[in-house]
Amino acid sequence: MSKKETISLIDTFSEFKELKSIDRSTLISVMEESFRNVISKMFGTDENYDVIINPDKGDFEIYRNRTVVADDELEDPNMEISLTEAKKIDEDYEIGEDVTDTVDFMGFGRRAILTLRQTLSSKILELQKDNVFSKYSEKVGQIVSAELYQIWKKEMLLIDDEGNELYLPKSEQIPTDFYRKGDTVRAVVAMVENKNNNPKIILSRISPVFLERLFELEVPEINEGLILIKKIARVPGERAKVAVESYDDRIDPVGACVGVKGSRIHGIVRELRNENIDVINYTNNINLFISRALSPAKISSIRLNEADKKAEIYLKPEEVSQAIGKGGLNIKLAGMLTGYTLDVFRELDEDETEDIYLEEFSDEIDQWVIDALKAIGCDTAKSVLSISRQDLIRRTDLEEETIDDVLAILNAEFEEDEE
């Protein structure tokens, strides 16, 4: 046996000894099984062998048990030993007794050592994969931190403290996220795939769970269970609404989450790339909950259709744009938070009774155009005419020709009324 091969086997033990992710008993069991597999392949059985692993020292001992037989009766040198050979070990041995002697594994040859290394590597790799899958399956829904190792077009590869690979897909990143190689990235474990025994840990920064866990880290009352996060609605990187409830009447849940001068929520906002976060008090009163969800707009009245989960929201004209929000974001999040489809209507003053709802023009104006106008808070003819042509084009993103047609139809209607 060459010195190189001896060193190779010692190195193998050193590698496995350093595997902190695998417990001692499992490591010993795997090593023993690997030795027995090699012995079994060589001699047809491993039943008469004792394998003792010393992971602390990084070595091993193998003993073979054989029965002493007469010299002319020796048939199986693996299971039996001739009387002459036995007496070389100890003069007192007699036929029928058991002889135990140390086996030099190195003497099995290069192929045996190579087979052992391959078997050990395969089993250890399998154990590591099982360990990673088990570990991260228990971490689903928890925040982890890892170092960014490589950036690809569709995902980023991160490495945790133990060298495990984690993946953050582009679709799970906040649109304004920007990282460089070597940066520490925080995200929530979204799922753990295990295809062909190859675990893949998927992270997310856009999940509502990520926002929830950040609140738990920043707000002790949530972590202690005094405040409960009831619902979260989120458009990652832009805006989120969080409904909270307190189990202690002495605690203001909104104030506790925001902190003095916003001290608690600022850290969350920074982590989420300046995502605006509205914290509101949860209530079982759906009318009140919808009203709070549409904040900062002040609601005049709400008409509920609980069967269809729809609500008609009536507001003063100056409140409509606030209720809808920039790009319809406020009303979208309020709908997500409450679970209701919300339709906004302008509350007409007495002198506006002659106004006409856009729906009445459905025979002249396509429904998708009406929907686009309603999305910016225009549900009546006069509400459209009160906005300049350029603003209508900019806010609705409709073609100039389409806006001109709408304005012509609406103006014609009121001209006829005047005549």
pLDDT score, position 111:
83
pLDDT score, position 3:
42
CATH number for the segment(s) 3-134: 3.30.1480
Answer whether CATH 2.40.50.140 is correct for domain 143-206. Answer: yes
Whether residue 419 is predicted with pLDDT greater than 60 in this model: the reply is no
Q: Is 193 helix (H, G, I), strand (E, B) or coil?
A: strand
Given a contact cutoff of 8 angstroms between Cβ atoms, the answer to whether 146 and 184 are in contact is yes
Whether residue 58 is predicted with pLDDT greater than 70 in this model: the reply is no
Residue 92, burial from CB neighbour count under 10 angstroms (0-12, 13-18, 19+): exposed
pTM summary value: 0.68
Q: Is 271 helix (H, G, I), strand (E, B) or coil?
A: helix
Where b means 16+ CB within 10 Å and e means fewer, 367-387 reads: eebbebbbbbbbbbbbbbbeb
Residue 321: both structure tokens together: 């744009």
Domains 207-282 and 283-344 share a fold: yes
- pLDDT tens-digit map of 228-267: 999 999 999 999 999 999 988 899 999 999 999 899 999 9
Across residues 87-102, what is the average pLDDT? 89
- pLDDT tens-digit map of 22-48: 677 777 788 888 888 888 888 888 899
pLDDT band at 15 (very low <50, low <70, confident <90, very high): low
Q: Which CATH class is domain 207-282?
A: alpha beta
pLDDT score, position 14:
57
Q: Is 255 helix (H, G, I), strand (E, B) or coil?
A: helix
In the chain, domain spans: 3-134, 143-206, 207-282, 283-344, 350-418
Report how far apart, in Å, the C-alpha atoms of 49 and of each of 6, 46, 188 are.
Answer: 21, 5, 49
Instruction: Quote the CA–CA distance of 300 and 322 in Å, as a whole number.
Output: 13
pLDDT band at 1 (very low <50, low <70, confident <90, very high): very low
**Helices and strands (H and E) in the chain: how many:** 15, 15
Fold of 283-344: GMP Synthetase; Chain A, domain 3 (3.30.300)
